[in-house]
Amino acid sequence: MTDLPALNQQFAVPNAIVIESGINGLPRITIANTLGAAHVYLHGAHVTHFQPAGEQPVLWVSKESNFAEGKPIRGGIPLCWPWFGPHRTDTAKPLHGFARIRSWTIISTAQLSDGRSRVELGLDHDAATLALWPYEFSLRLTVTVGRELEVALTTTNTGRNPFTYDDALHTYFAVADVRQATVEGLDGVAYFDKVAPGGNKVQAGPVTISAETDRVYFAGGPHALVDAVGKRRIAIATSGARASVVWNPWIAKAKAMADFGDEEWPGMLCVETANCLDVATTLLPGTSHTTAASYRVVR
C-alpha cells in the first residue's frame, strides 16, 4: 500500500503538485498549474492526461483500459522499454517490455519560476528485471507541464557490459476523427509497414489514415498532427529519436483488444517517438541516452 501522506510530505508542491489515489486506487501524481494540467501514474510512470489551460485534453485513454498491477494502461504515453513490440526471441515476455507495467518511484518534483511544474520518476534494475533482461540499468522519466508537455526518458547503463535496447514514448493522441486527421513531417521518410510487410516504403506527402495503420518511420520529428475536424494542430518536437511510429488499429483490431472499445478507434491516433527495429540504441557501460518529445497545441 502506498503511503500517500509520506509521499505528499516529501514531494507535494502547494497549488501545483499532489499525489493522490487515482483510478482503481493506483497512486497518481496530479499536476495543475496556471498553464496546464496532467496526470502521471507511478504504475509505468504513465502519463494519462495532459490539458493546456483553455484547451481540450491532448491525450486519449480508452474507457476500457485496465488500471491494474502487471497490466499496461491503454492510452496516454506508455513507455516501451527495453524492447518494442514482442520480445525478439521469447514471446512469453511482456509486449513492449516491462517498464510500463512496473511501479516507478518519485525521484523529485519542482515548481519552475516560469510557472511550469516538473516531476521525475525512476526505475532501476532488480531481480525481476534481471530475470527478464540480463542487464543493469537506471531509468529516469522527466515530465514537465506547462502550455506544452515535455517528456524525456533517460536510460543509463549502470552495468559492466554494453547493451542494445529499444525505447518508445508510445503516445496516444485524442482526435475528433482519425479519418480526417493527417501527420505532417514524414514526407520522403522510409518506413516499415507492419500491416503489409515487405521492403521498406517511402512516405509521399502527409500520412493519412483510411485503414489499419502500423508503420515505423526511420526518422524522428518534428511532426504535426493535424486534427481537421477538431480544428487544431499538435506540434510534436523530438530529440534523441531515430524513429517515429504511426498507429491506428481501425475496426477489426479495435474489436480484438479487450482494453480498447470497439467504437473508440476514430478518436485516437498514436504518433510515437522511438528508437526501435533497425535503429535501436547501444549503450556502453556508464553512458546514457535520452529520448524526448514535447507536445503543444497550436492554432
Active-site amino acid positions:
170, 272
Our finding on whether 102 is near ligand TA6 (CB under 6 A) is no
Shorter beta-carbon distance to ligand TA6: residue 194 or 296: 194
Q: Mask 6-25, x = binds ligand TA6 (CB under 6 A)?
A: --------------------
Our finding on whether 46 is near ligand TA6 (CB under 6 A) is no
Shorter beta-carbon distance to ligand TA6: residue 146 or 221: 221
The footprint of ligand TA6 on residues 69-88 (CB under 6 A) is 72, 85
Out of 214, 221, 226, 227, the residue judged to bind ligand TA6 by CB under 6 A:
214
Our finding on whether 132 is near ligand TA6 (CB under 6 A) is no
Shorter beta-carbon distance to ligand TA6: residue 83 or 135: 83
Our finding on whether 264 is near ligand TA6 (CB under 6 A) is no
Task: Decide if 257 contacts 155 (C-beta within 8 A).
Answer: no
In the block, residue with C-alpha cell 504518433:
271
Round to whole Å and give the CA distance between 70 and 43. 9
Our finding on whether 227 is near ligand TA6 (CB under 6 A) is no
Q: How far is the CB of 194 from ligand TA6 (least distance, A)?
A: 6
Our finding on whether 272 is near ligand TA6 (CB under 6 A) is yes
Q: How far is the CB of 215 from ligand TA6 (least distance, A)?
A: 9
Shorter beta-carbon distance to ligand TA6: residue 154 or 248: 248
Out of 247, 250, 265, 295, the residue judged to bind ligand TA6 by CB under 6 A:
247
Our finding on whether 133 is near ligand TA6 (CB under 6 A) is no
Total binding residues toward ligand TA6, as defined by CB under 6 A: 11
User: Per-residue DSSP letters for the chain?
Assistant: ---HHHHHHHH-BTTTEEEEE-GGG-EEEEEE-SSEEEEEETBTTEEEEEEETTS--SB-B-TT---STTS--SBSB-EEBS-SSS-SS-TTSPTTBSGGGSB-EEEEEEE-TTS-EEEEEEEE--HHHHHHS---EEEEEEEEESSEEEEEEEEEE-SSS-EEE-EEE--EEE-S-GGGEEEES-TT-EEEESSS-SS-EE--SSEE-SS-EEEEESS---EEEEETTTTEEEEEEEES-SEEEEEE-HHHHHHH-TTS-TT-GGGEEEEEEEE-GGG-EEE-TT-EEEEEEEEEEE-
Out of 37, 95, 107, 132, the residue judged to bind ligand TA6 by CB under 6 A:
95
Out of 39, 96, 118, 140, the residue judged to bind ligand TA6 by CB under 6 A:
96
Q: How far is the CB of 267 from ligand TA6 (least distance, A)?
A: 16
Q: Which amino acid is at 257?
A: M
Out of 39, 116, 170, 223, the residue judged to bind ligand TA6 by CB under 6 A:
170
Radius of gyration of the chain (CA): 18
Shorter beta-carbon distance to ligand TA6: residue 36 or 72: 72
Strands 281-283 and 181-184 come out as: unpaired
Q: How far is the CB of 294 from ligand TA6 (least distance, A)?
A: 20
User: Residue 104: what are its φ and ψ, rounded to 5°?
Assistant: -95, 165
Residues that bind ligand TA6 (CB under 6 A): 72, 85, 95-96, 170, 194, 214, 245, 247, 270, 272
